[in-house]
Amino acid sequence: MQDVLFKTTAGSTLRYFKRGNGPILIVTPPGWGLGTSYLQEAFKPLETTFTLVFLELRGNGKSSRPAASEMSCWHLADDIEHLRQELKMEKISYLLGHSGGGTIALWYAAKYPNKVDRLILLNHRLDGFDDSKSMKEAILEKAKNPKMHAPLKAWTTSHENLTDEGFAQVIRSFLPMYFYNPDAFYRSKELSNLQSVPLWNYQTVNGVDREAHRQEPELGKVTAKTLMISCRADPVCTPAQAMATQKGIAGSKLVIYDECGHFPWLEKEETFRDITDFCSS
């Protein structure tokens, strides 16, 4: 595996990890501090088909930290453009983002429509979309399961004054509710053993003071062939967001999994099949 630090044309430092064989598939994680390790663990089955490049976004790991005002998903999309230039790619053939990383990848496809061919959004969040109704319904459904009670309680825990280690502990406590089967959380060693997550990142990317950018009015700019995978038991990036995205991107494809949560590869074995089929179609 290659582990590379590079200077961008903007003067910042970014890091990426490269592994596998085949055409390049750039993978974008959320910007709020979860990092790329859980995705490197998850996407090992794709290494025989693609060269996977995992981008460590600004403010994460060894990538340099910008001003808080430059940590919105709209800003973070420019890190993908810096990576494209660093890799000397005329065009990104395959760009995949998970969760908030999908938000960032979607912004990239809207801001740089001529620089990406195929876009894959796994359980993405649609920036600025009011999904409160669907989220409430998902939470009420999960509350019927006694195994979800402790994670739901942890989800509402205040984290304003936590250390990065304390924040990671809270995340470990509530992540089981992101699954259809809460026990599936433990299938990921990286997620179930999170030790430190930078609270600063979360507060700047998702906090109440963050700069608001709405994606819905920009979706018509996306020309990339687009696949969205969404899951009915995802309480934070619900199918309602994916359906709104599909409506805005001409010709886009949406697959919705039943009995599956926010990390589909841990609950649905067809996840990688659907990704590879889309890329080869």
Dump pLDDT digits (tens) for 200-234.
999 999 875 566 789 999 999 999 999 999 999 99
200 occurs within a structural domain? no
Q: Where are the beta strands (DSSP E) in 215-277?
A: 225-231, 253-257
Count of domains observed in the chain: 1
Average pLDDT over residues 20-36: 96
120 occurs within a structural domain? yes
Both tokens of 211, joined, read 């700069």
Nearest to 83 by CA among 61, 116, 47: 116
- Where does the pLDDT of residue 158 fall: very low under 50, low under 70, confident under 90, or very high at 90 and above? confident
Residues with Cβ within 8 Å of residue 126, at least 6 apart in sequence: 103, 106, 215, 216, 241, 242, 244, 245
What is the extent of the structural domain holding 114? Answer: 2-131+209-280
Tell me the C-alpha distance between 24 and 51, whole Å: 5
161 occurs within a structural domain? no
71 occurs within a structural domain? yes
158 occurs within a structural domain? no
- Where does the pLDDT of residue 49 fall: very low under 50, low under 70, confident under 90, or very high at 90 and above? very high
Give the tens place of pLDDT for each residue, 54-101: 999 999 999 999 999 999 999 999 999 999 999 999 999 999 999 999
Angle between helices 73-86 and 100-111 (to 10 degrees): 70
Above 80 in pLDDT, residue 281?
yes
Both tokens of 103, joined, read 């938000």
The letter for the amino acid at 146 is P
How wide is the angle at C-alpha 62 spanned by C-alphas 228 and 178, nearest 5°?
35
154 occurs within a structural domain? no
Which CATH number do you get for residue 91?
Answer: 3.40.50.1820
